[in-house]
Copies of this chain bind each other. A is one copy, B any other.
Amino acid sequence: MTNLLTTGHTRLDQQLQFLVEIDRLKHVLRRTTTIGGARHENSAEHSWHLALMALTLAEHAAEPVSLTRVVTMVLLHDIVEIDAGDTFAYDTVALATKREREQRAAERIFGLLPDDQTDTMRALWDEFEAGDSADARFAGALDCFGGFLPNTHGGGGSWRDHGVSSSAVLRRMEPLRHSLPRLWPTIEHIIDTGRSLGWFSDGAPDPH
């Protein structure tokens, strides 16, 4: 079927092509599940959830942040996965090639947009990846929490399924300690509890 979405207006056509393309993020599945564990979540709905986390939790950010920039970052942070796939945060082999795969994907997908929008979105994505600004640090901490949350309600979820150690989770959650310090004691408490419940590869189940 021919593409009916042609307006004859170059910028608008480029934007529509981008919007059609990114629909595919709804089919990129993460290792984590929705809360309750009914099914794996996809990267589009995960990004939506992070944006709501940003809107709701911004007051607890350790540094002043621009909410608009943080929301935009989390909305587009996973778009590269359309080409590069979701890389499990605890898969050290896949993590080694993640950067290169995602750079190519960013080039192609943000490149569908008009040049000025390519530049703006790409710059925000680069900033998120680098994690060197207050906004990127807060967005990155939310991304960590987005992966943490379903596992705490699903009996260990993807940690248990993939033999992740509690020390790896603690390291992975480190951005939360700095960017959302008010949440940190709870994170530690949940990991401790999970260890006693046998969620992790390095913790023995509680004998009781």
Chain A interface extent, by class: 35 or more
A23, A68, A71, A193 pick with most chain B CB within 10 angstroms: A23
State the number of copies, please.
2
Task: Point out the residues of chain B lying under 8 angstroms from A1, CB to CB.
Answer: 153, 155
Cβ-defined contact, B19 with A49, below 8 A: yes
- A-B contacts besides A11-B59, A23-B150, A25-B48, 14 pairs, CB < 8 Å: A1-B155, A4-B186, A4-B193, A5-B149, A6-B186, A7-B183, A12-B57, A12-B183, A23-B35, A23-B149, A45-B48, A68-B68, A68-B71, A71-B71
Residue of B nearest to A22 (CB): B52
A103-117 interface bits toward B, Cβ cutoff 8 Å, 1 = contact, 0 = none: 000000000010001
Taking CB atoms and an 8 Å cut-off, the chain A residues in 1-55 that contact chain B are 1, 4-7, 9, 11-12, 15, 18-20, 22-27, 34-36, 38, 41-42, 44-45, 47-49, 51-53, 55
Cβ-defined contact, A56 with B117, below 8 A: yes
| A76 CB–B CB distance under 8 Å | yes
Q: Given the complex of chains A and B, what is the CA–CA distance between A42 and B190 in angstroms?
A: 30
| A67 CB–B CB distance under 8 Å | yes
A51-B51 CB under 8 A given contacts A67-B68, A183-B12:
yes
Cβ-defined contact, B56 with A15, below 8 A: yes
| A207 CB–B CB distance under 8 Å | no
List the 4 shortest-distance A-B pairs measured between CB atoms, nearest first: A48-B48, A44-B45, A23-B35, A45-B45
| A189 CB–B CB distance under 8 Å | yes
What secondary structure prevails in chain A residues at the interface with B? helix
Interface residues of A (CB under 8 A from B): 1, 4-7, 9, 11-12, 15, 18-20, 22-27, 34-36, 38, 41-42, 44-45, 47-49, 51-53, 55-57, 59-60, 67-68, 71-72, 75-76, 113, 117, 121, 149-150, 152-153, 155, 182-183, 185-186, 189-190, 193
A6, A18, A72 pick with most chain B CB within 10 angstroms: A72
